[in-house]
Amino acid sequence: MRLIPFLTAILVTVTLYLAVFERDRLLAFARGATIEEAAQASEAAGATAGETGSAETALAEGKAVGVVVMRSQARTIDSAVLLRGETRAVRQVEVRAETSGAVISEPLRKGAFIARGDVLCELDPGTRQATLAQARAALAEARARVPEAKARLEEAKAVLEEAQINYRAASKLNEGGYTAETTLLARAAGVRGAEAAIASAEAGVEATQSGIEAAQATVAAAEREISRLTITAPFEGLLESDAAELGSLLQPGGLCAEVIQLDPIKVVGYVPETEVSRVNLGALAQARLATGEEVVGKVTFLSRSADPTTRTFEVEITVPNPDLTIRDGQTASIGISADGALAHRVPQSALTLNNEGTLGVRVVLPGDVVGFQPVELLRDAVDGVWLGGLPERADIIVVGQDFVTAGVHVAPTYREAAQ
């Protein structure tokens, strides 16, 4: 009974051997080829595999591996800060009513061009003109009381002066014994009464002046209320919404119209904290809109405070828009000019990673020894990539870099970067 499992194990072992080590002969035999033809096919496959792995074999045997090396000289390129952003109107205001009233003006339709000071909405004045006339009458009446109050004050001053004269005369006569003591006391009481009259007259003048100021404030409030009946455009721009319809009732805070200014227009983006030091106020910037249109402007604002969520800094670029072709809210690709940098242009295929996952290129050092150089990707172009972080002159391996490692001797074949 144990013979059958033993034979089964032998059969499985032979099958696995043929499938793994003699796969080519087995496939050829299955297609109807002879045993000799199957052997030839297996040898041909082995030869092909040997050619493919020649680099690995040479590396394993310690022989120099053939590589193609590009002699590269660094060049200065414009290193732009690339961002994504959107267009934004330089001004956008919802013009609202400051008082209540029914609209009595014909509405302006959205899209209309308006100048600063143009009437957007006009409200029914109601009884406001009568209130203003009443306030002005009260002011005139208060001003008319001023001469009377001043005359009373002057009269009180004259009475006081007369009382003081009588008191001094009675005092001298009393000293010589020519008048009674009661007369002197009566004259003193007359002086005190005159002084009280002056105080009362001065209070009357102050009250009259206070009445004038109160009447002036009432007139100013009435005039201000009337001025609020006419709602005008705060700046030149376009209507983004229809003005309030004729006959509609506006309350304080009610929307009259929305005005937007698009000339000039802003292109807003957000700079990463690693790139913010490369952006300066006044720097030239170019933006490509989703429509393909390219515009040029200058950096006019760079935030000093980072967004707490994204850790980016807002940057604004002001762009002329005299024909108003650029709209608010369009997506834009932004490039802000920065200081130039030395860079090498190499084929994108030359990029590789070391064991730590660092992006770089493999270079040939003196003595035909391979070295790894970390790089910084500055710009992507159609004919290659521009890399920073390399010395001014470098021999970069462009073919065979994936079959060698740092410290390995190679047999380089050189070509110039222009080829």
| Structure confidence by residue, pLDDT tens digits, 121-130 | 999 998 999 9
Residue at 96 is within a domain: no
From 311, 336, 361, the end of a domain falls on: 336
Q: What is the CATH number of the domain that holds 285?
A: 2.40.30.170
- Asked if 132 and 180 sit in the same domain, the reply is yes
Q: Are strands 113-114 and 237-239 parallel, antiparallel or unpaired?
A: antiparallel
> In this structure, what CATH number is given to the domain that contains residue 362?
2.40.420.20
* 113 within a domain of the structure (yes/no): no
Separation between Cα atoms, residue 211 and residue 223, nearest integer Å? 18
CA 41/CA 24 separation, integer angstroms? 7
Predicted local distance difference test score (pLDDT) of residue 47:
42
Kindly state whether residues 183 and 137 are assigned to the same domain. Answer: yes
Same domain (yes/no): 318, 399: no
Do both 394 and 324 map to the same domain? no
Q: How many domains does the chain have?
A: 4
Residues 364 and 412 grouped into a single domain: yes
In a domain, 152, yes or no: yes
Contact between 121 and 97 under an 8 Å Cβ cutoff? The reply is yes
Residue 48, pLDDT score: 37
Q: What is the pLDDT of residues 337-376, one digit of tens each?
A: 877 678 888 998 899 998 888 999 999 999 889 999 999 8
Q: In 3D, which of 404, 398, 375 has the Cα closest to residue 387?
A: 375
Of 310, 336, 362, the residue that ends a domain is 336
H or E element: which one contains 213? helix 181-227
Residue 136 maps to a domain: yes
328 lies in the same domain as 267: yes
Question: Do the domain assignments include residue 98?
Answer: no
The string of DSSP codes covering 60-122 is HTTPPEEEEEEEEE-EEE--PEEEEEEEEEEEEEEEE-SS-EEB-SPPPPTT-EE-TT-EEEE
**Can you tell me the distance from the alpha carbon of 401 to that of 412, in angstroms, rounded to the nearest whole number?**
11
Domain of residue 366: give its range.
Answer: 65-77+341-416
Is residue 105 included in any domain, yes or no? no
Residue where one domain finishes, among candidates 336, 353, 383: 336
104/245 Cα distance (integer angstroms) = 9
Residue 112 lies in a domain: no
Q: Give yes or no: residues 328 and 349 share one domain.
A: no
Name the helix (H) or strand (E) containing 342.
strand 341-346
Q: What are phi and psi of 86, to 5 degrees?
A: -155, 160
Predicted TM-score (pTM) above 0.85: no
Q: Which residues of the chain have pLDDT under 50?
A: 1, 33-35, 38-39, 41-42, 44-53, 419
104 assigned to some structural domain: no
Same domain assignment for residues 200 and 270: no
In terms of domains, do 214 and 269 share one? no
Residue 326 and residue 371 share a domain? no
Same domain, 330 and 377: no
pLDDT of residue 243: 92
Output Rg (C-alpha) for the chain, integer angstroms: 49
Res 205: pLDDT: 83
